[in-house]
Chain A
Amino acid sequence: MGCMPMTSSFVFLMRYSKRMMDPHKNSFRRKVRPHERFIEIMLFFCALLSIIITVGIVVILVKESWLFFKNPQVTLKEFFTSKKWQPMIGDFGFLPLLNATFTTSIIAMSLGVPIGLFVAIYLSEYASEKTRAVLKPILEILAGIPSIVFGYFALTFMTPLLRGIFNAERVEIYNTASAGLVIGILVLPLIATMAEDAIGAVPKELRLAAYALGSTKLETVFQIVIPAAISGISATFLLAFSRAIGETMVVALAAGAGPNFTYNPFRSAETITGYIVRISGGDVSYNSIDYNSIFALGLVLFIITFALNFISRRISERFRQEYE
């Protein structure tokens, strides 16, 4: 271990041939190598840590949520049906937060999905090698920008822009539309890259077959390639949706503080993640109802995103099997 490969193999060869010459020793007997076994066990524990993390997440979220729901002030029925979330005065309906989360995510998807998909189509079907060489790094840069920067962008650029277009009196300073649109930009590179992979995995032969029947490029793309890649593409959309739901900094900065049950995207409304950040950022004391509530909401968030990711992975696995 650690020595030059050449030397080590040479030494092995020597030892091996010597044993071969010794008639009294069974040189092919399985050798016990405690050192090798130890390393394997260590490596196994490294891998096992990932399970421990998952178990840790679940245990902690469930335990703290249990404490939350055990509180006499909180009932499950209220949690899931009430449209008021004011832990200070004993209102524990999480619908306003969930509603805001879905509002921002749906706005994000309605921007990110078409543009991301079209960019993917352009990249894989239309762009020349040269154009790709320019566009791919641009997407990578966009994908590498931290979400806090997008939050700043939402607050200082998108919101004034929306207020300029739709009249400042109708658009509040904090609003879900601005946050949603910017989350859309944030998930765009993810959608574009993954959808491009899915489209690229469609065998070239299918395209050739379509062209040979006298189809145009557009017909080939929309009627043959996209349907053939549809499971990979929908897996992408689900993953992006889960990203949008879990996105925190953009909504924390731009969507507004304070739960508000509204369907108007120009009003301010706090999302699940926004609430968790606001409460925990303010030095919350342990064992308070506030502290427990962020874990209960975290559990909701975890279940939603986990389900989305799980389905997405299932679909994309099936997609991969189709073309292997």
Chain B
Amino acid sequence: MSVKAYEVNMPFVGAKSAENPIIEMKDVDIYYGDFQAVKKISMEILERHITAFIGPSGCGKSTVLRSINRMNDLIPNARLEGYVLFNGYDLYDERVDPVLIRRRIGMVFQKPNPFPKSIYENIAWGARINGYKGDMDELVQTSLQSAALWDEVKDKLKKGALQLSGGQQQRLCIARALAVFPEIILMDEPASALDPIATGRIEELILDLKTKYTIIIVTHNMGQASRLSDYTAFFMVDENRTGYLEEFGDTEQVFLNPRNKKTEEYISGKFG
């Protein structure tokens, strides 16, 4: 693995073959003050695939997820050692502006969190602040269509987003993330606050999105991980409450034929 020299004009790298890693992590340690949250994470995430992060609570899987679009920067005293590469460029190079990174690596959160604005504004806002040059109405429509929400909301775009149901709100949040043209979408337990039917729709949507986007999803739900993902990363926590990567591989292999005893125990529900 090689770290490419940073260029001020970080070029947009177009579509690549599926085998190219879009994210590479090398010996990543993350600290909150004196507390080491995760240690020695190394992995490669492939473009246009779904990678699931699983593991018991407190194992640092969300921390690792947030390090990919530098959301951890927002936590005071958070610090990262090692390399996180995006298309070969060091995301933590001091000249990199996290604001530009987050436009290209979007995020969907556990609880639906639409802005207290209209549905239209929820979608348009991110694109507008980032200097979107195209037709805004069209963008709103395509984003909502990609998130399978258009038909339900097309007549009430000017209505408040908070009137929508929980599942609709979460799809709105996904549409909102899509509207800034990200390459990667990070999802932090996106369906855990939803009922089974809404969860089903979100899962369908995620599978649809795979054709265009790289998706990394943190989940507590083993079934969800096995249904959705192509690759699975299993995180564990050591006696110092520091998380580490126990096993990473093909989802089929991790679930059916785990190399590791801990993984097997976790997947079969012995702990977690």
Q: Which residue of B113, B116, B125 is within 8 Å of A322 (Cβ)?
A: B116
B173 contacts partner chain A, Cβ-Cβ < 8 Å: yes
Give the total number of A-B pairs whose CB atoms are below 8 A apart: 68
Instruction: Write out, one digit per residue, whether chain B residues 173-186 have a CB within 8 A of any chain A CB (1) or not (0).
Output: 10011001000000
Evaluate contact between A213 and B176: CB separation under 8 angstroms. yes
Question: Any chain B CB within 8 A of the CB of A214?
Answer: yes
Contact status B113-A205, CB under 8 Å: yes
Q: A176 to nearest B CB, angstroms?
A: 39
B106 adjacent to chain A (CB < 8 Å): yes
- B109 close to A (CB within 8 Å): yes
Contact status B126-A213, CB under 8 Å = yes
Contacts of A223 in B (CB 8 A): 125, 129
Q: By the criterion CB–CB under 8 Å, are A208 and B130 in contact?
A: no
Question: Which A residues, 194 to 235, have Cβ-Cβ distances below 8 Å to chain B?
Answer: 203, 205-216, 219, 223-224, 227-228
Q: Does A128 touch B at the CB level, under 8 Å?
A: yes
Cα separation A205 to B190 with both chains bound (whole Å): 13
Q: Which single residue of chain A is at the shortest CB-CB distance from B74?
A: A211
From known contacts A219-B129, A223-B125, infer whether A214 and B99 are also in contact, taking CB-CB under 8 Å.
yes
Interface flag for B111 (CB, 8 Å) = yes
- Label chain A's interface by main secondary structure: helix
Q: A128-B76, A214-B126 are in contact. Are A209 and B102 (CB under 8 A)?
A: no
Residues from chain A with a CB closer than 8 A to the CB of B102 are: 211-214
A215-B129 in contact (CB<8A): yes
Q: Does residue B255 face the partner (Cβ distance < 8 Å to A)?
A: no
Residues of B near A203 (CB, < 8 A) are 113
B41 vs chain A, min Cβ distance (A):
21
B266 at interface (Cβ–Cβ under 8 A)?
no
Which among A207, A223, A228 has the greatest number of chain B C-beta atoms within 10 A? A223
Q: Are B115 and A228 in contact (CB under 8 A)?
A: yes
**Residues of chain B within 8 A of A224, CB atoms compared:** 115, 125
Task: Pick from A128, A207, A210, A213 the residue with the most CB of B within 10 Å.
Answer: A213
Q: Known: A208-B109, A209-B109, A228-B116. Contact between A215 and B126, CB under 8 A? A: yes
In the complex, per-residue mask of B94-131: 1 if CB is within 8 Å of any chain A CB, else 0: 00000111111011010101111100000001100110
List of B residues within 8 angstroms of A129 by Cβ: 76
Closest CB in chain B relative to A185 CB, distance in Å: 31
Residues in A whose Cβ lies below 8 Å from that of B100: 214
CB within 8 A of B103: which of A128, A213, A228?
Answer: A213
Task: Please measure, in the bound complex, the distance between the C-alpha atom of A82 and the C-alpha atom of B79, giving whole angstroms.
Answer: 69
Which residue on chain B has the smallest CB distance to residue A209? Answer: B113
Instruction: Specify which chain A residues have a CB less than 8 angstroms from the CB of B104 in the assembled complex.
Output: 214
A129 to B75, CA, bound (A): 12
Docked pose: A206 CA to B180 CA in angstroms: 17
Cβ A208 vs Cβ B113 within 8 A: yes
CA distance A128 to B99 in the complex (A): 21
Residues of A within 8 A of B113 (CB): 203, 205-206, 208-209
B157 within 8 A of partner (CB) = no
CB distance from A320 to the nearest CB of B (A): 14
Q: Which residues of B contact A212 (CB under 8 A)?
A: 69, 71, 102, 106-107, 109, 177
Bound together, the chains give a CA A255 to CA B5 distance in angstroms of 67
Beta-carbon contact of B177 and A213 below 8 Å: yes
Q: Please tell me which one of the listed residues B74, B125, B180 contacts residue A208 in the complex, with CB atoms under 8 A apart.
A: B74
Q: Mark B21-36, 1 if CB is under 8 A from A, else 0.
A: 0000000000000000
Of residues 50 to 85 in B, which have CB atoms within 8 Å of A's CB atoms?
69, 71, 74, 76
Please name 18 pairs of A and B residues whose Cβ atoms are closer than 8 Å in the assembled complex, sorted by A.
A203-B113, A205-B111, A205-B113, A207-B74, A208-B107, A208-B109, A208-B113, A209-B109, A212-B71, A213-B103, A213-B106, A214-B100, A214-B129, A215-B126, A216-B129, A227-B117, A228-B116, A322-B116
Known: A212-B107, A212-B177, A215-B126. 20 other contacts (CB 8 A): A129-B76, A205-B111, A205-B113, A206-B115, A206-B116, A208-B109, A209-B107, A211-B71, A211-B74, A212-B102, A212-B106, A213-B176, A214-B101, A214-B103, A214-B104, A214-B126, A215-B99, A216-B99, A216-B129, A228-B115
Closest 8 CB pairs of A and B: A214-B103, A213-B126, A212-B107, A205-B113, A214-B102, A209-B113, A228-B116, A219-B129
| A positions within 8 Å CB-CB of B | 128-129, 203, 205-216, 219, 223-224, 227-228, 322
